[in-house]
Amino acid sequence: MALTTLAIDIGGTSLKMMAVDEQDQPLQEREKQPTPRPATPQAILKTLEDMFTRQPKFDRVSVGFPGVVKDGVVETAPNLDGEWASFDLAHAIQKKTSKPTKAANDADIQGYGLIHGKGLEMVITLGTGLGSALFIDGKLVPNLELGHHPFKDNQTYEDYLGKRGVEKHGIEGWNHHLEEAVNLMRRIFNFDRLYVGGGNMHKVTCKFSKDVTISKNIAGLLGGIKLWEV
């Protein structure tokens, strides 16, 4: 029996939702709404609940979240609100939809929608913050929070490559730092392939070598199907 997955991507700037079939084919246009402020669990769940009413029938739910998520429970949400700590996101969504639900880090889910499953593959997502994921022969190393690691000048990768970095350094400066960061990641992780995605990927103008792929932003939703296969 074919199953329909409702894929949800919770971001610091927007909430996205799309129902997809087992062949990764969207069943309708992706819906997108601004992330409410303050971005508390209650505020975001209320917005999602309204979005649910406009979706086709679905059998299960996958949720990508911008922070550390373990067994469906949020541990950190640096770009949202402190109330998310210890919040059981998977259970809350399952209660709202009455459908089986899985929740994981958004970059991890995006990676599932991009990787080929061979060698060391890495994903970074450029948005309000900086998400990251690492896969070895298709197996996830979960909750890699590279964005909060020091990059340079006592600031983190997220300080330079997230929304704050765009605002502080401008598009040209931001691209310069992105190119510098990717070269550093290549030396640290020795990845076979790096995928670059996220809401700000359309701002990327720097040229990368062949081991770097600029991905489609929809991968953050399509990867939700793979979450049910691992």
What's the CA gap between 27 and 17, in Å, rounded? 11
Pick among 3.30.420.40, 3.90.1150.10, 3.30.460.20, 2.40.30.10: CATH of 5-109:
3.30.420.40
> How high is the pLDDT of residue 224?
85
Query: Do the domains 5-109 and 117-221 sit in the same CATH topology, yes or no?
Result: yes
Of 95, 116, 102, 105, which Cα lies nearest the Cα of 68? 105
* pLDDT lower than 70: segments of the chain: 1, 217-220
> How high is the pLDDT of residue 219?
64
> How high is the pLDDT of residue 177?
97
> How high is the pLDDT of residue 27?
86
Q: Is the dihedral of CA 52, 56, 58, 64 positive or negative?
A: negative
> How high is the pLDDT of residue 28?
86
> How high is the pLDDT of residue 229?
86
What's the CA gap between 4 and 97, in Å, rounded? 14
Domain ranges of the chain: 5-109, 117-221
Let me know: does 39 contact 66? Beta carbons within 8 Å. no
**Domain 117-221 class in CATH:** alpha beta
What's the CA gap between 109 and 213, in Å, rounded? 17
> In the 8-state DSSP scheme, what is residue 13?
S
